[in-house]
Amino acid sequence: MGTDSAPSRRPRRLRRTAAIRDLVQETRLHPADLIAPLFAKDGTGAPTPVGSMPGVARLNLDDLQQEARALAGLGIRGVALFPVTPTERKDPAGSEALNPDCLILRAVRAVKAAAPQLVVFTDLALDPYTTHGHDGVLDAAGTDVDNDATVAILARMAVLHARAGTDFVAPSDMMDGRVDAVRRALDGAGHGGTGILAYSAKFASAYYGPFREAVGSAQAAGTRGLDKRTYQLNPANPREALADAMLDESEGADALMVKPAGPYLDIIAELRRHTLLPLAAYQVSGEYAQIHAAAERGWLDLERCRDESLLAIKRAGADWILTYFAKDVAAALR
Protein backbone atom coordinates (compact mmCIF):
# COMPACT_ATOMS: atom_id res chain seq x y z
CA MET A 1 0.00 0.00 0.00
CA GLY A 2 1.44 3.40 -1.00
CA THR A 3 1.88 6.31 1.36
CA ASP A 4 -1.01 8.27 -0.16
CA SER A 5 -3.47 5.50 0.58
CA ALA A 6 -2.20 4.68 4.09
CA PRO A 7 -4.96 4.76 6.75
CA SER A 8 -4.91 7.81 8.99
CA ARG A 9 -6.49 5.87 11.84
CA ARG A 10 -4.41 2.94 13.09
CA PRO A 11 -6.00 1.28 16.14
CA ARG A 12 -2.93 -0.93 16.49
CA ARG A 13 -0.97 2.06 17.79
CA LEU A 14 -2.82 1.52 21.08
CA ARG A 15 -1.69 -2.14 21.19
CA ARG A 16 1.95 -1.64 20.27
CA THR A 17 3.58 -2.21 23.68
CA ALA A 18 2.60 -3.74 26.98
CA ALA A 19 2.80 -0.33 28.66
CA ILE A 20 0.43 1.25 26.13
CA ARG A 21 -1.97 -1.67 26.41
CA ASP A 22 -2.01 -1.20 30.19
CA LEU A 23 -2.73 2.51 29.82
CA VAL A 24 -5.77 1.95 27.61
CA GLN A 25 -7.19 -1.13 29.37
CA GLU A 26 -10.87 -0.47 30.06
CA THR A 27 -11.79 -3.28 32.46
CA ARG A 28 -9.69 -4.43 35.41
CA LEU A 29 -10.03 -7.02 38.14
CA HIS A 30 -9.12 -6.21 41.72
CA PRO A 31 -9.10 -8.55 44.74
CA ALA A 32 -11.84 -6.39 46.28
CA ASP A 33 -14.13 -7.39 43.38
CA LEU A 34 -14.01 -11.03 44.43
CA ILE A 35 -16.04 -13.01 46.97
CA ALA A 36 -14.68 -16.45 47.87
CA PRO A 37 -17.20 -19.26 48.44
CA LEU A 38 -16.12 -21.56 51.28
CA PHE A 39 -17.52 -24.91 52.45
CA ALA A 40 -17.65 -25.55 56.20
CA LYS A 41 -17.83 -29.01 57.75
CA ASP A 42 -18.17 -30.28 61.31
CA GLY A 43 -15.44 -32.01 63.27
CA THR A 44 -11.67 -31.71 63.37
CA GLY A 45 -10.71 -33.80 60.36
CA ALA A 46 -8.40 -32.74 57.54
CA PRO A 47 -9.82 -30.83 54.58
CA THR A 48 -12.00 -33.04 52.38
CA PRO A 49 -11.38 -32.36 48.67
CA VAL A 50 -14.37 -31.90 46.38
CA GLY A 51 -13.59 -34.35 43.59
CA SER A 52 -15.22 -32.37 40.79
CA MET A 53 -13.67 -29.04 41.88
CA PRO A 54 -9.85 -29.18 41.88
CA GLY A 55 -8.36 -27.07 44.66
CA VAL A 56 -11.64 -26.79 46.58
CA ALA A 57 -12.18 -28.59 49.89
CA ARG A 58 -14.61 -28.78 52.77
CA LEU A 59 -12.96 -27.19 55.83
CA ASN A 60 -13.39 -27.69 59.55
CA LEU A 61 -13.85 -24.50 61.55
CA ASP A 62 -10.17 -24.16 62.51
CA ASP A 63 -9.10 -24.51 58.87
CA LEU A 64 -11.91 -22.18 57.86
CA GLN A 65 -10.47 -19.52 60.15
CA GLN A 66 -7.01 -20.02 58.68
CA GLU A 67 -8.39 -19.70 55.15
CA ALA A 68 -10.33 -16.56 56.07
CA ARG A 69 -7.16 -14.91 57.38
CA ALA A 70 -5.27 -15.87 54.21
CA LEU A 71 -7.99 -14.45 51.96
CA ALA A 72 -8.12 -11.21 53.91
CA GLY A 73 -4.34 -10.94 53.63
CA LEU A 74 -4.66 -11.11 49.83
CA GLY A 75 -7.06 -8.17 49.76
CA ILE A 76 -10.26 -10.16 49.30
CA ARG A 77 -13.10 -8.41 51.10
CA GLY A 78 -15.85 -11.04 51.20
CA VAL A 79 -16.55 -14.73 51.75
CA ALA A 80 -19.73 -16.70 51.12
CA LEU A 81 -20.19 -19.57 53.56
CA PHE A 82 -21.97 -22.85 52.82
CA PRO A 83 -22.52 -25.67 55.33
CA VAL A 84 -21.98 -29.37 54.71
CA THR A 85 -24.77 -30.65 56.94
CA PRO A 86 -24.32 -34.20 58.27
CA THR A 87 -26.85 -36.59 56.77
CA GLU A 88 -28.24 -37.52 60.18
CA ARG A 89 -29.22 -33.88 60.76
CA LYS A 90 -31.33 -33.64 57.61
CA ASP A 91 -35.07 -34.15 57.42
CA PRO A 92 -37.86 -33.28 54.95
CA ALA A 93 -38.55 -29.98 56.74
CA GLY A 94 -34.92 -28.83 56.90
CA SER A 95 -35.28 -28.40 60.67
CA GLU A 96 -31.53 -28.05 61.24
CA ALA A 97 -31.66 -24.66 59.50
CA LEU A 98 -33.38 -23.29 62.62
CA ASN A 99 -31.01 -24.84 65.13
CA PRO A 100 -29.50 -21.81 66.95
CA ASP A 101 -26.15 -23.61 67.11
CA CYS A 102 -26.13 -25.14 63.63
CA LEU A 103 -22.94 -25.36 61.58
CA ILE A 104 -23.44 -22.27 59.44
CA LEU A 105 -23.92 -20.06 62.50
CA ARG A 106 -20.80 -21.44 64.14
CA ALA A 107 -18.95 -20.88 60.87
CA VAL A 108 -20.03 -17.24 60.77
CA ARG A 109 -18.85 -16.68 64.32
CA ALA A 110 -15.54 -18.43 63.59
CA VAL A 111 -14.80 -16.33 60.49
CA LYS A 112 -15.75 -13.09 62.22
CA ALA A 113 -13.45 -13.94 65.12
CA ALA A 114 -10.54 -14.79 62.80
CA ALA A 115 -10.93 -12.03 60.19
CA PRO A 116 -13.41 -9.39 61.35
CA GLN A 117 -12.58 -7.20 58.35
CA LEU A 118 -14.15 -9.72 55.96
CA VAL A 119 -17.71 -9.22 54.76
CA VAL A 120 -19.60 -12.46 55.40
CA PHE A 121 -22.44 -13.63 53.14
CA THR A 122 -24.69 -16.56 54.07
CA ASP A 123 -27.29 -18.30 51.94
CA LEU A 124 -30.92 -18.55 52.91
CA ALA A 125 -32.24 -21.77 51.40
CA LEU A 126 -33.13 -25.19 52.74
CA ASP A 127 -31.35 -27.46 50.26
CA PRO A 128 -28.34 -28.11 52.57
CA TYR A 129 -30.76 -29.27 55.28
CA THR A 130 -33.48 -31.28 53.49
CA THR A 131 -33.43 -34.99 52.71
CA HIS A 132 -35.04 -34.30 49.32
CA GLY A 133 -32.52 -31.60 48.32
CA HIS A 134 -35.03 -28.92 47.39
CA ASP A 135 -34.61 -25.29 48.47
CA GLY A 136 -37.77 -25.31 50.57
CA VAL A 137 -40.33 -27.53 52.27
CA LEU A 138 -42.62 -29.57 50.05
CA ASP A 139 -46.36 -29.15 49.76
CA ALA A 140 -48.89 -31.65 51.13
CA ALA A 141 -48.71 -33.71 47.95
CA GLY A 142 -44.92 -33.82 48.12
CA THR A 143 -44.64 -32.76 44.50
CA ASP A 144 -43.62 -29.10 44.69
CA VAL A 145 -42.09 -26.58 47.06
CA ASP A 146 -44.57 -24.76 49.28
CA ASN A 147 -43.71 -21.11 48.63
CA ASP A 148 -45.22 -19.37 51.65
CA ALA A 149 -44.27 -22.02 54.22
CA THR A 150 -40.70 -21.84 52.92
CA VAL A 151 -40.60 -18.04 53.09
CA ALA A 152 -41.67 -18.14 56.74
CA ILE A 153 -38.73 -20.42 57.54
CA LEU A 154 -36.29 -18.26 55.56
CA ALA A 155 -37.31 -15.19 57.55
CA ARG A 156 -36.55 -17.01 60.80
CA MET A 157 -33.23 -18.23 59.38
CA ALA A 158 -32.29 -14.66 58.45
CA VAL A 159 -32.65 -13.48 62.03
CA LEU A 160 -30.49 -16.33 63.32
CA HIS A 161 -27.80 -15.52 60.75
CA ALA A 162 -27.87 -11.83 61.63
CA ARG A 163 -27.50 -12.62 65.33
CA ALA A 164 -24.44 -14.75 64.50
CA GLY A 165 -22.84 -11.75 62.80
CA THR A 166 -23.37 -12.26 59.07
CA ASP A 167 -23.19 -9.01 57.10
CA PHE A 168 -25.47 -10.06 54.22
CA VAL A 169 -28.07 -12.78 54.08
CA ALA A 170 -28.48 -14.10 50.55
CA PRO A 171 -31.87 -15.64 49.74
CA SER A 172 -31.02 -18.17 47.04
CA ASP A 173 -34.31 -20.04 47.01
CA MET A 174 -36.22 -18.06 44.35
CA MET A 175 -39.48 -18.10 46.34
CA ASP A 176 -41.96 -15.30 45.68
CA GLY A 177 -41.98 -12.53 48.31
CA ARG A 178 -38.98 -13.74 50.26
CA VAL A 179 -36.99 -10.49 50.11
CA ASP A 180 -39.84 -8.50 51.62
CA ALA A 181 -40.40 -11.12 54.34
CA VAL A 182 -36.70 -11.31 55.20
CA ARG A 183 -36.38 -7.51 55.34
CA ARG A 184 -39.36 -7.23 57.66
CA ALA A 185 -38.04 -10.01 59.91
CA LEU A 186 -34.58 -8.48 60.16
CA ASP A 187 -35.89 -5.01 60.89
CA GLY A 188 -38.38 -6.33 63.41
CA ALA A 189 -35.64 -8.19 65.27
CA GLY A 190 -33.39 -5.13 65.46
CA HIS A 191 -31.05 -6.10 62.62
CA GLY A 192 -31.69 -3.21 60.28
CA GLY A 193 -27.99 -3.04 59.42
CA THR A 194 -27.89 -6.56 57.99
CA GLY A 195 -27.98 -6.43 54.21
CA ILE A 196 -29.76 -8.62 51.68
CA LEU A 197 -27.93 -9.89 48.61
CA ALA A 198 -30.78 -11.38 46.61
CA TYR A 199 -30.22 -14.22 44.18
CA SER A 200 -32.54 -12.34 41.86
CA ALA A 201 -31.85 -14.09 38.57
CA LYS A 202 -31.02 -17.67 39.52
CA PHE A 203 -31.55 -19.99 36.60
CA ALA A 204 -32.51 -23.68 36.55
CA SER A 205 -29.04 -24.47 35.29
CA ALA A 206 -27.14 -27.67 34.58
CA TYR A 207 -23.97 -26.01 35.91
CA TYR A 208 -24.69 -26.63 39.63
CA GLY A 209 -23.71 -30.31 39.84
CA PRO A 210 -20.30 -29.96 41.53
CA PHE A 211 -21.72 -27.60 44.17
CA ARG A 212 -24.45 -30.09 45.03
CA GLU A 213 -21.74 -32.70 45.48
CA ALA A 214 -19.79 -30.33 47.73
CA VAL A 215 -22.65 -29.63 50.16
CA GLY A 216 -24.25 -33.06 49.87
CA SER A 217 -27.62 -31.99 48.47
CA ALA A 218 -27.10 -34.16 45.38
CA GLN A 219 -26.59 -37.24 47.50
CA ALA A 220 -29.65 -36.37 49.58
CA ALA A 221 -31.83 -36.29 46.52
CA GLY A 222 -30.10 -39.19 44.83
CA THR A 223 -29.26 -37.13 41.74
CA ARG A 224 -27.25 -34.16 40.60
CA GLY A 225 -30.03 -33.28 38.17
CA LEU A 226 -32.68 -32.37 40.73
CA ASP A 227 -35.53 -30.59 38.92
CA LYS A 228 -36.03 -27.11 40.37
CA ARG A 229 -37.80 -25.55 37.40
CA THR A 230 -40.94 -24.64 39.34
CA TYR A 231 -38.98 -21.99 41.20
CA GLN A 232 -35.68 -21.33 39.42
CA LEU A 233 -35.74 -19.32 36.19
CA ASN A 234 -36.08 -20.71 32.68
CA PRO A 235 -32.72 -20.16 30.91
CA ALA A 236 -34.68 -19.05 27.83
CA ASN A 237 -36.40 -16.08 29.53
CA PRO A 238 -34.40 -12.84 29.87
CA ARG A 239 -37.45 -10.60 30.39
CA GLU A 240 -38.74 -12.81 33.20
CA ALA A 241 -35.30 -12.65 34.85
CA LEU A 242 -35.33 -8.85 34.70
CA ALA A 243 -38.85 -8.71 36.15
CA ASP A 244 -37.83 -10.92 39.07
CA ALA A 245 -34.79 -8.78 39.77
CA MET A 246 -36.77 -5.55 39.72
CA LEU A 247 -39.27 -7.09 42.12
CA ASP A 248 -36.45 -7.95 44.53
CA GLU A 249 -35.21 -4.37 44.34
CA SER A 250 -38.68 -3.03 45.09
CA GLU A 251 -38.95 -5.36 48.12
CA GLY A 252 -35.78 -3.97 49.69
CA ALA A 253 -32.80 -5.94 48.38
CA ASP A 254 -29.50 -4.11 48.92
CA ALA A 255 -27.73 -5.90 46.06
CA LEU A 256 -28.81 -8.21 43.23
CA MET A 257 -27.21 -11.34 41.82
CA VAL A 258 -27.17 -13.28 38.55
CA LYS A 259 -26.35 -17.01 38.76
CA PRO A 260 -24.66 -18.61 36.82
CA ALA A 261 -22.44 -15.86 35.46
CA GLY A 262 -20.62 -16.91 32.28
CA PRO A 263 -23.58 -18.32 30.31
CA TYR A 264 -25.71 -15.31 31.32
CA LEU A 265 -23.53 -12.31 30.49
CA ASP A 266 -26.45 -10.83 28.57
CA ILE A 267 -28.58 -10.92 31.73
CA ILE A 268 -25.82 -9.24 33.75
CA ALA A 269 -25.48 -6.49 31.12
CA GLU A 270 -29.23 -5.93 30.87
CA LEU A 271 -29.71 -5.84 34.61
CA ARG A 272 -26.80 -3.42 34.94
CA ARG A 273 -28.73 -1.01 32.68
CA HIS A 274 -31.84 -1.25 34.86
CA THR A 275 -30.51 -0.95 38.41
CA LEU A 276 -28.28 1.35 40.41
CA LEU A 277 -27.80 -1.27 43.13
CA PRO A 278 -24.57 -3.24 43.45
CA LEU A 279 -24.69 -6.20 41.07
CA ALA A 280 -23.11 -9.56 41.85
CA ALA A 281 -22.56 -12.55 39.60
CA TYR A 282 -21.78 -16.10 40.70
CA GLN A 283 -19.28 -18.01 38.58
CA VAL A 284 -20.69 -21.35 39.65
CA SER A 285 -19.09 -24.72 40.29
CA GLY A 286 -19.74 -26.06 36.80
CA GLU A 287 -18.06 -23.08 35.20
CA TYR A 288 -15.04 -23.58 37.45
CA ALA A 289 -14.96 -27.33 36.84
CA GLN A 290 -15.13 -27.11 33.06
CA ILE A 291 -12.19 -24.71 32.87
CA HIS A 292 -10.14 -27.01 35.08
CA ALA A 293 -11.18 -30.11 33.14
CA ALA A 294 -10.19 -28.61 29.78
CA ALA A 295 -6.90 -27.37 31.21
CA GLU A 296 -6.09 -30.80 32.65
CA ARG A 297 -6.48 -32.23 29.14
CA GLY A 298 -4.16 -29.61 27.71
CA TRP A 299 -6.92 -28.04 25.66
CA LEU A 300 -6.88 -24.63 27.37
CA ASP A 301 -4.45 -22.48 29.31
CA LEU A 302 -5.85 -22.51 32.86
CA GLU A 303 -4.70 -19.08 34.04
CA ARG A 304 -5.50 -17.22 30.82
CA CYS A 305 -8.97 -18.77 30.52
CA ARG A 306 -9.63 -18.17 34.22
CA ASP A 307 -8.72 -14.50 33.93
CA GLU A 308 -10.58 -14.02 30.65
CA SER A 309 -13.75 -15.55 32.08
CA LEU A 310 -13.65 -13.21 35.08
CA LEU A 311 -12.89 -10.14 32.97
CA ALA A 312 -15.92 -10.97 30.83
CA ILE A 313 -18.15 -11.06 33.91
CA LYS A 314 -16.75 -7.76 35.14
CA ARG A 315 -17.03 -6.20 31.67
CA ALA A 316 -20.68 -7.23 31.46
CA GLY A 317 -21.40 -5.09 34.52
CA ALA A 318 -20.87 -7.13 37.68
CA ASP A 319 -19.48 -5.26 40.67
CA TRP A 320 -18.86 -8.39 42.76
CA ILE A 321 -17.91 -11.83 41.47
CA LEU A 322 -18.37 -14.96 43.56
CA THR A 323 -15.77 -17.37 42.22
CA TYR A 324 -13.81 -20.40 43.37
CA PHE A 325 -10.82 -18.84 41.62
CA ALA A 326 -10.83 -15.93 44.08
CA LYS A 327 -7.76 -16.89 46.11
CA ASP A 328 -5.58 -17.75 43.12
CA VAL A 329 -6.59 -14.64 41.19
CA ALA A 330 -6.04 -12.37 44.18
CA ALA A 331 -2.59 -13.87 44.68
CA ALA A 332 -1.76 -13.37 41.00
CA LEU A 333 -2.98 -9.78 41.02
CA ARG A 334 -0.69 -8.99 43.94
Residue 265 lies in a domain: yes
Using alpha carbons only, give the angle 157, 186, 214 rounded to the nearest 5 degrees.
35
Q: Which of 202, 228, 314, 327 is catalytic?
A: 202
What is the average pLDDT value for the chain, to the nearest integer?
Answer: 95
Domain for residue 275, yes or no?
Answer: yes
Q: Evaluate whether residue 10 is within a structural domain.
A: no
Estimate to the nearest angstrom the gap between the alpha carbon of 24 and the chain centroid.
31
Per-residue pLDDT, 224 = 52
Range of the domain at 308: 28-333
Q: Is the pLDDT of residue 220 over 80?
A: no
Q: Is residue 307 part of a domain?
A: yes
Q: How many domains does the chain have?
A: 1
259 is catalytic: yes
Residue 243 in any domain: the answer is yes
Does the residue 179 lie in any domain?
A: yes
For residue 72, the tally of other CB atoms under 10 A from its CB is 19
Count of positions (residues) in the chain: 334
Q: Quick check: is 236 in a domain?
A: yes
The torsion region of residue 317 among left (phi > 0), alpha (psi -120 to 50) and beta comes to left
Q: Note whether residue 11 is domain-resident.
A: no
Give the pLDDT confidence of 101-157 residue by residue, as tens digits. 999 999 999 999 999 999 999 999 999 999 999 999 999 999 999 999 999 999 999
Decide if pLDDT at 4 tops 80: no
In the prediction, which pLDDT does 221 show? 45
CATH number of the domain that residue 252 is part of: 3.20.20.70
pTM summary value: 0.95
185 contact partners, CB below 8 Å, separation of at least 6: 155, 156, 158, 159
Catalytic residue among 41, 90, 112, 259: 259
